[in-house]
Structure 1
Amino acid sequence: MSDNKCILVTGGAGYIGSHTVVELVNAGYDPVVIDNCANAVRASENGRPGSIKRIEKIVDKKIIYYDIDLLNKAALDDLFAKHSFIAVIHFAGLKAVGESIEIPIEYYKVNICGTLNLIECMKKYQVSNLVFSSSATVYGTPQYLPIDENHTVGSCTNPYGKSKYFIEEILRDVGKAEKDWNIILLRYFNPVGSHKSGLIGEDPQGTPNNLMPYVAQVAIGRRSQLSIFGGDYDTPDGTGVRDYIHVVDLALGHIAALKKVSTKCGLKVYNLGTGKGYSVLDMVRGMEKASGKKIPYKIVDRRDGDVGSCYAEVTLAQTELGWKSDRNLEEMCEDLWRWQTKNPKGFQTDNSS
């Protein structure tokens, strides 16, 4: 391994992490993945996640992987002693909004304490470049649209969003105290789709928390119909509008961010989205076109905390990172449908050999 290209990817077996690992290899980096598989299905052999095996097939290269929990400080210390990282991309953490409301203490412990352990190890081993996986949830209820990076943050509606906000604040303080640190906070909007190969994609356990995996499961017959929460919003068709971004575009945003931290940029914040709003019904129609299936749905009551519209202003990322999303709604749905049809049981589908 070429140590001058060695990148630590925490949570690299997950949905966004796995796609980013592929793009890291494509860009000439040497990713080292750690994951405790809380959000990923394990393979049946050697304890390696199914996503890592699929990544290796895509890039035709062995991926260094460790089963490490960020709460295990000793294991993390050993890892940093073994590799000379030039930067860290930090995805690891619990991520389900609904679950965070039910078990908030676990979310704060895992997401915040895990990040603190990571920061302490980075400082000890003089690794000062960090790209953090944040979220548009830090904005709370939009005060204006599109949402730019100057929008107020902190009025989060759930513990998951609060944990991301608290970590952002911690990293801001680190950046002020440690002048040699370079930190980029990437605020994601709504990732969808999968890799063109259909080998890796979003594999929710149990009932999907996000719209599009649920829609895809209805299309393939795993679920009978979709419940749309709210049909009376002040939007073109009454359903909620969100900024959906292809996961490969999102992954490429991390490559752009890595290049930025290498320029000694200090602390920067960027939205990663398309800048376009798509309604729930837009997404349903997109999946119907991609799948050739009729997707039954019913309109039900709104959920507490949901807003009518939320989409990004993305000019800053375009200007300063030289990055923009290139994949449209049709491609998002086509790639998601390819993943769903090739992997009806997610990573437990045995088609990777």
Structure 2
Amino acid sequence: MYRITVLPGDGIGPEVIDEALKVLNVISNKYNVKFDTKKYLFGGIAIDKYNTPYPKETEEACLNSDAVLLGAVGGPKWDMLDGDKRPEAGLLALRKSLGVYANLRPATLFSPLRGSSPLKDELLKDGLDVLVVRELTGGIYFGPRGTEKTEYGYKAYDTEVYDTKEIERIAYIAFEIAKKRKKKVTSVDKANILDSSRLWRKVVNNVSQKYPDIELNHLYIDNCSMQLIKDPSQFDVILTSNMFGDILSDEASQLTGSIGMLPSASLRGDKVGLYEPVHGSAPDIAGTKKANPLATILSLAMMLEYSFDMVDAAKDIRQAVNNILEDGYRTADLGKGKILNTQEMGDIVVKYLKE
């Protein structure tokens, strides 16, 4: 029995979560494994009821579960709130309370979607399979910040802070993953300008000494952003800081044809894992059944693999998604094909899994 805390969140979050839970039910029956799932309020919807994005009841449930499955949070309704009261503050608090410092964001181009990528076909001849390993609980998002009154108005500051331990532990994650892939790590920083990046590069170099079989190179964030567009096949594992990883993973996601295809996992050793699609709450299409649930379903596959060691079940889901795309089924964001709505796409994933 695995206990999963489910946080549907806001916007399209509840819609895509429901489709993932249908898939989980099939996996439960197919592999004779029981999952105890329970939904809790989180994000904007929790603000409306409890005046906080991360209620105590939700936090306790997350900390006492085996994994957390999250939809998405935020929307215009809460944009005018103070920073520490907004739904996104709840997301930072969730990551902090779980201690999930390693964010894994795979950008994989399913071959049937090759035509949906904005890149020229010759740039994709070797496919696209990049894993962004992003440090998640340090850096500028968690450093000292504030807003102060000045003679002419205000000044605001956000501070990038990293220490050796924070960099070491995320570097080890990246190198261990690279051992099982193409044995290549690209560390991304801004060491020509930032002290925090100079420390980052020094620590990563030290960790790399323990992995002589892994190729390591370094790129500045601006160059890496360009190289991802120019020649994405050069990358395998990209190791980087919180803010740079946030930016690069969204860029990489667009190379796959749609952000609606991108899952993510946030991990910390033997602690609870957090799984969520890379996309946001998309309030403009909430309730229209246009949302693509595949990123959430693929996040579920990552949960099965990383939290429950159900590697075959994860492969089943990924193969079902690939077969569905091969057969021409699409949601609206994926372009031309047999267009399905959110629920229909979830249903067909279930169908292919059963077959």
TM-score, structure 1 length as denominator? Answer: 0.36
Where relative contact order (Cα < 8 A, 6+ residues apart) is larger, the structure is 2
TM-score, structure 2 length as denominator? Answer: 0.36
Greater share of residues in helix: 2
